[in-house]
């Protein structure tokens, strides 16, 4: 099996096209494993992994923990809310204390962009970025690419739309890097206030028309409004956002062909997606969650070989 060119997974920007294909191909094998009656393999036996989460998480944390346990790793969970971080302990001291207990790999989510990069330069363990602020979320982009490839084949030349709050989304940036490296055409769509000014320099198209974008794309990856990150009002109300940029089943039915509908979760039902769209036959949202475990198993396995 091929090796990665990196010791840490800090972002898609640091990966080569070959690295991405290696992860996706390895994930295909692990997906077979998690669908067997006995879902465990001894690949990471005697490896200890700490999940260090400084932000709230449901899917990502559970997905990483399941991936680690499926690989037979020893798992330690750390949550900032009940730790010495509340007493003033620094990030580096916190992680060094965890490493002193002989931990081999750190999976970290942090609200500050660049936190995993800072850590990777100062500790000997492998670091996996599980989301750093509004910067990157590499495993989400990898599982999205895996899910798209599973549905419509090779991504080269495919048209992928990312719709919603692009400005505050780490998922959007990682997806753009990943999809462009795999040869896809990418378009972002949303209100002018929620699309970064620099975004076209990444080689993506920009649109503010949802219906026209849905007609253009093969896959629509819909992002939620990051309400917890909104410091000022970027649009008048959620109701108005939903009216202009929300997607419903009728809009999907009016298209001249079927498209694939995705969402990284959690969904704000009735805002970016109505329930009849989110639960439609075109939606692969729960497939993404399943694929997340296989992709994260692949990432952990490949990094452990470094």
DSSP 8-state code for residue 194: G
Task: Tell whether residue 249 is among the known ligand binding residues.
Answer: no
268: part of which helix (H) or strand (E)? none
The response to whether 140 counts as a known ligand-binding position is: yes
Q: Is 296 annotated as a binding residue?
A: no
- On the CB side of 239, CA atoms within 13 Å amount to 0
Q: Is 305 annotated as a binding residue?
A: no
**170 annotated as belonging to a binding site for a ligand:** yes
Tokens 């990284």, residue located: 264
Using alpha carbons, select from 303, 305, 306, 287 the residue that is nearest to residue 35. 287
Residue 69 marked ligand-binding: no
- The answer to whether the annotation marks 236 as part of a ligand binding site is no
According to the annotation, is 224 in a ligand binding site?
yes
Q: Is residue 48 within 8 Å of 71, Cβ to Cβ?
A: no
Q: Are 52 and 60 in contact (CB under 8 A)?
A: no
Q: Where are the beta strands (DSSP E) in the chain?
A: 48-53, 74-79, 105-110, 126-132, 159-163, 185-189, 205-207, 219-222, 260-262
CA distance 33 to 120: 30
Check the annotation: does 269 bind a ligand.
no
The H or E element containing residue 212 is: helix 210-216
User: How far apart, in whole angstroms, are the C-alpha atoms of residue 139 and residue 33?
Assistant: 19
**Residue 34 exposure: Cα atoms within 13 Å on the Cβ side:** 24
| 116 labeled part of a ligand binding site | no
Say how far apart CA 70 and CA 292 lie, in whole Å.
Answer: 13
Binding residues for L-aspartate: 87, 170, 224
Known binding residues for carbamoyl phosphate:
59-60, 109, 137, 140, 265-266
Binding-site sequence positions: 59-60, 87, 109, 137, 140, 170, 224, 265-266
């Amino acid at each position: 099996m091929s090796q990665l060119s990196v010791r840490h997974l800090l972002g898609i920007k640091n990966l080569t096209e070959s690295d991405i294909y290696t992860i996706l191909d390895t994930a295909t094998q692990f997906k077979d494993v998690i669908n067997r009656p006995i879902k465990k393999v001894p690949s990471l036996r005697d490896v200890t992994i700490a999940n260090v989460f400084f932000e709230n998480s449901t899917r990502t944390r559970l997905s990483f923990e399941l991936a680690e346990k499926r690989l037979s790793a020893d798992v330690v969970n750390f949550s900032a809310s009940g730790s010495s971080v509340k007493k003033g302990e620094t990030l580096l001291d916190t992680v060094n204390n965890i490493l002193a207990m002989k931990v081999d790999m750190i999976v970290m989510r942090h609200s500050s962009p660049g936190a995993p990069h800072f850590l990777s330069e100062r500790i000997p363990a492998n670091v996996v970025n599980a989301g750093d602020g509004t910067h990157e979320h590499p495993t989400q982009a990898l599982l999205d690419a895996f899910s798209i490839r599973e549905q419509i084949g090779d991504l080269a030349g495919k048209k992928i739309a990312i719709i919603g709050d692009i400005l505050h989304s780490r998922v959007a940036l990682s997806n753009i890097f990943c999809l462009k490296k795999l040869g896809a055409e990418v378009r972002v769509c949303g209100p002018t206030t929620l699309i970064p000014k620099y975004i076209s320099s990444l080689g993506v198209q920009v649109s503010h028309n949802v219906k026209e974008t849905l007609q253009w794309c093969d896959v629509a990856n819909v992002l939620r409004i990051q309400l917890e990150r909104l410091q000022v009002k970027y649009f008048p109300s959620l109701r108005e956002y939903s009216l202009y940029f929300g997607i419903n089943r009728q809009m999907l039915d009016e298209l001249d062909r079927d498209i694939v509908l995705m969402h990284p979760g959690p969904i704000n039902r009735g805002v970016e997606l109505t329930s009849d769209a989110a639960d439609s036959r075109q939606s692969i949202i729960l497939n993404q969650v399943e694929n997340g475990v296989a992709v994260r198993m692949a990432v952990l396995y490949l990094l452990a070989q470094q």
